[in-house]
Structure 1
Amino acid sequence: MTLFSNGFVTLQMPEDFEAVATKDEFNDMYLVNTKIPMSIKFSTTPTLVGLPEIMEDIEKNLKNNDRIDLVTSDFLAINDDIYYMIVSSFSDGEKEIRRNEFLYVEDNNLYIFEYTYPYADRELDDFYLNVIRSLKIIVPKYIVENGSYRLNKEESQ
């Protein structure tokens, strides 16, 4: 088992996935598996709102986008935490792409798991949940105060 760690969180990385470097400030981990093919993106962003407000904004944005179909949107208990899960699909004209997102808020930090793959019927619930259940938050990545945020300097070494 390979663990991802950035000093703020640790996650179990699934077998046969390779890390891809990104320059996005909020993207903590981006993995691809060309055999399946699938990508996993894990991000952390500062937030001042909770999951109900996030759900409302996402659903509103999706309703205004004709190219994306909302498959399901609901709250889900994982471990002892409540996550917002949203499943959507879109077509690039040749194949259908499915995206499953799981969002969690703690200490003004929004943790986002995004799984993208090019088929709609694959049963991957255990796969998603095993990665999500492995999340261990060491310290919040961002400190949110006075309407702004900063990187938490107390990261674990």
Structure 2
Amino acid sequence: MTVFTNGFSTLQIPEDFEPVPGKNEFTELYLVNTKIPMSIKFSTTPTLAGLPEIRADIEKNAAINDKIELINSDFIAINDDIYYMVVSSFSDGENELRRNEFLYVKDDNLYFFEFTYPYADRELDDFYLNIIRSLKISGPKYIVENGEYKINNNE
């Protein structure tokens, strides 16, 4: 079993997935599996918003974007924590992709999982949940104070 850690968060990397460079400073881990094909993104960002506010923003943005179909938007329990789950599909005109997102807020840090794959009917609940359940948080990566954030140096 391969494990990812950044000093603040640890999680299991599923078999046959390869890391590729992230696209922004908050992307902790970006994995692809060309055999399925599927991508997994794990991010940590500073936030002062709670899950209800995040849900409202996501639903509002999905409503005004005609390329995104919101399939499911709800709070779910994973382990002993409450996550916000969003299932959507979007099309670029040629390809339709399914995206399952799971968001969790703790200590002013938003932990975000995004699973993207090209079939709308594939059942992968256990696959997602096993990765999310493997998340161990040893401390917040970001400290948010006075409208600014900094890396937590007290690991």
Give the TM interval when normalised to the shorter protein: over 0.9
Amino acid aligned to 2:100: N
Amino acid aligned to 2:101: E
Looking at structure 2, the residues matched to 94 and 21 of structure 1 have their Cα atoms a distance apart, in angstroms, of 26
What SS does the corresponding residue of 2:153 show, helix, strand or coil?
Answer: coil
Amino acid aligned to 1:113: F
What SS does the corresponding residue of 1:85 show, helix, strand or coil?
Answer: strand
Where structure 1 has 5 or more consecutive residues not aligned to the other structure, the ranges are none
Looking at structure 1, the residues matched to 23 and 113 of structure 2 have their Cα atoms a distance apart, in angstroms, of 17
Looking at structure 2, the residues matched to 85 and 65 of structure 1 have their Cα atoms a distance apart, in angstroms, of 19
What SS does the corresponding residue of 1:127 show, helix, strand or coil?
Answer: helix
What SS does the corresponding residue of 1:49 show, helix, strand or coil?
Answer: coil
Amino acid aligned to 1:72: N
Give CA-to-partner distance per residue, 1:89-144, whole Å, 9 cap, x none. 01122221000000000000000000000001111000000000000001100000
What SS does the corresponding residue of 1:130 show, helix, strand or coil?
Answer: helix
Aligned to 2:134: 134
Aligned to 2:26: 26
Alignment of 1:107 onto 2:107: yes
Q: Once the two structures are aligned, what percentage of the paired residues are identical?
A: 76
TM-score, reference length from structure 1: 0.97
Looking at structure 2, the residues matched to 96 and 112 of structure 1 have their Cα atoms a distance apart, in angstroms, of 22
Q: 1:142 to 1:68 in 2, by over 3 A?
A: same
What SS does the corresponding residue of 2:66 show, helix, strand or coil?
Answer: coil
What SS does the corresponding residue of 2:122 show, helix, strand or coil?
Answer: coil
Aligned to 2:65: 65
Give CA-to-partner distance per residue, 1:138-157, whole Å, 9 cap, x none. 110000011110011123xx
Looking at structure 1, the residues matched to 144 and 94 of structure 2 have their Cα atoms a distance apart, in angstroms, of 43
TM-score, reference length from structure 2: 0.98
Amino acid aligned to 2:14: P
RMSD of aligned residue pairs (Cα, Å)? 0.8
Matches within 5 A, 1:13-92: 13-92=13-92
